[in-house]
Amino acid sequence: MGTAQAAGEKRTFLPDPNGVAWRKSSYSNQEGGDCVEVADGVTGVVPVRDSKVPGGPVVSFGDGSWAAFISGVQGGRRR
């Protein structure tokens, strides 16, 4: 995984999103519809992608931001 810094931000890049273990969200449509996948085992970030487009873009969140998001969803909070 590489990093780059631009305008005060630190960005992390996955060298090969196909080389990580992806799991489908338990809230995704199990009939093949709206599916979000999350990659496990990437240090410091949580990569997220659309399972219907596995070669498409990957959005990565800092693990603290992701934990806060999951906590909010589980607590019923939405923004």
Structure tokens at 59: 């959005």
Do 60 and 46 meet the contact criterion of CB atoms below 8 Å apart? Answer: yes
pLDDT at position 68: 92
Structure tokens at 1: 């995984």
In a domain, 68, yes or no: yes
Give me the number of domains the chain comprises.
1
How long is the chain?
79
Classify residue 49 as exposed, middle or buried by CB count within 10 Å of its CB (0-12, 13-18, 19+). Answer: buried
Residue scoring higher pLDDT (68 or 78): 68
Structure tokens at 7: 């305008």
- pLDDT tens readout for residues 21-70: 888 877 666 666 678 899 988 888 899 998 888 888 889 899 899 999 88
pLDDT at position 56: 86
In a domain, 62, yes or no: yes
pLDDT at 4 over 60: no
Structural domain for 75, as ranges: 33-79
